[in-house]
Chains A and B, each alone.
Chain A
């Protein structure tokens, strides 16, 4: 054998794009081109719709790291999505009111301040929730993550300072120095960059040593422990990073809507994110984007015709679960070799 490491040559990603690369490139190009075209032709509504799709996809990218790559079926990711949203909302609230937060911290409407805080807050919350939840597995893990998220939901519901169940308006979108975030296309581009970075991070992470350990934790944690790597810390770190990505998406989402309310924390949203990840393809890098596009697409197209559009969503989900184990992305781009 001329190549001493056939494992490498056999699995070396070719310089050519291949079917999967082509599909991925096309998806990104479409996502970028449609809102630009809508903006040029004077349809800001569609730009905002694209921003929404992008942010839901980004939240699902976060969930996919835990659920798809890590095998941790979290039914509570709305907690991070909503918490991120509340960080944006509360920051704006105090900046607008010129009152301090918790008696001492000044408000801020600078996104460069709010985003790290949102991610930090979500990371800490996920650390606490993950540390407890990861003692369990299977159905118990699903239920305990749900229970924690519901606690956050009821907490937000009953905190009158920030609107309780009525939610909290953000009168002016938070600011990014040098950019006009009120401008729909500018805001879309910010969201787009966020999504691309989140996916790039996921891809890089999964190719690293950490990713190798996380993959093994999902596929066979006995093998991982037998090699001398404790599975739980690996899972916990992945869970925290996952929550931080979803939390950042939530912060952007609140700014997009100019509004944050407990509905961003509700279990419906956790469920929708799961549906999106499964639709798109569990553990597929572009799965969340495809899933979010399907979800928003059906909601927009069928939602106008019938209240029961989710019935069609359910049927699609059923089809995917039964016939396309790697989701729509697997169907579009072929099976993943290592999945």
Chain B
């Protein structure tokens, strides 16, 4: 079995009396999509926050490429190749779409303490950013301010920002939410092609997409992983049907 690019070991996080993450361990291997499903409030986004570094776990470790990054900042983890998209999109609204992507390209290209050369026409920033946008079907929207983009376009832009980092691991928090059937199908296709390049930890409520894409599925309920396995195993698991699939 290839070594995991991402591993969580015994993560715990409490908010007061609420155990939002309760002894969660999981791995992400090269070439796979590992889906994390569960009802609302199960603690999926909380888990992503701990992996990305915006939330400190109370206990447990996060390993990226075998390195313990539990104490590292969000930016440091991103520099190690952790790309993510947010459940509620987090972009610079007044800036053109491409500027949001260019900042990722700039980060990848090295440090940002360059005070003189203009970025607006720097092909080393613009071209990779354009490529990421085009990959997400947003090439024609490059100059449009984020505030004027549709909901679906913002979701795609978030993924483009993450891709521009050339991540080694991708965390996607409900990328299909609100996309409509056509958008979902399109993104599903895209992720299917993408997973050979970069393994993805995917949080998604769209079960059709999940069963089609994911090699492995973990089911999170009340902060705890109650089931784990491939699509068939999960579909047949009585506990999962009871808690989540709802039949």
A: which residues have CB within 8 A of B?
Answer: 1, 4-8, 10-12, 204-205, 207-213, 215-216, 219-220, 222-231, 234, 237, 338-339
Contacts and interface: CB of A to CB of B under 8 A. Distances in A.
Given A11-B143, A212-B106, 6 more contacts: A204-B115, A210-B115, A215-B92, A219-B95, A222-B90, A223-B100
A5 to B, nearest CB: 6
B114 interface: yes
Interface in B22-74: 52, 54, 73-74
Contacts of B99: 212, 338
Contacts of B100: 223
Contact of B126 (A7, A219, A220, A225): A7
Contacts of A222: 54, 74, 86, 90
Contact of B90 (A8, A208, A226, A237): A226
Q: Which 6 A-B pairs have the closest CB atoms?
A: A228-B78, A10-B143, A7-B142, A219-B92, A228-B107, A213-B112
A71 to B, nearest CB: 12
17 contacts: A4-B130, A5-B142, A6-B143, A7-B98, A7-B129, A7-B142, A12-B120, A210-B112, A212-B119, A213-B103, A222-B54, A223-B90, A227-B104, A227-B161, A227-B165, A229-B106, A230-B75
Interface string B84-110: 101000111111111110111011100
Given A1-B140, A207-B118, A227 B93 contact: no
B79 interface: yes
B52 A8 contact: no
B74 A225 contact: yes
B197 interface: no
Interface of B: 52, 54, 73-76, 78-79, 84, 86, 90-100, 102-104, 106-108, 112-121, 125-127, 129-130, 139-140, 142-143, 161, 165
Nearest to A10: B143
A211 B118 CA distance: 9
Contacts of A209: 106, 112-115, 117, 119, 125
A212 B130 contact: no
Nearest to A216: B103
B96 A228 contact: no
B74 A226 contact: yes
Nearest to A13: B120
Nearest to A1: B140
Contacts of B96: 7, 10-11, 338
Contact of A216 (B92, B125, B127, B130): B92
A237 B120 CA distance: 21
Contact of A224 (B52, B79, B103, B126): B103
A207 B119 CA distance: 6
B214 to A, nearest CB: 24
Nearest to B144: A10
Given A215-B95, A219-B93, A219-B94, A229 B121 contact: no
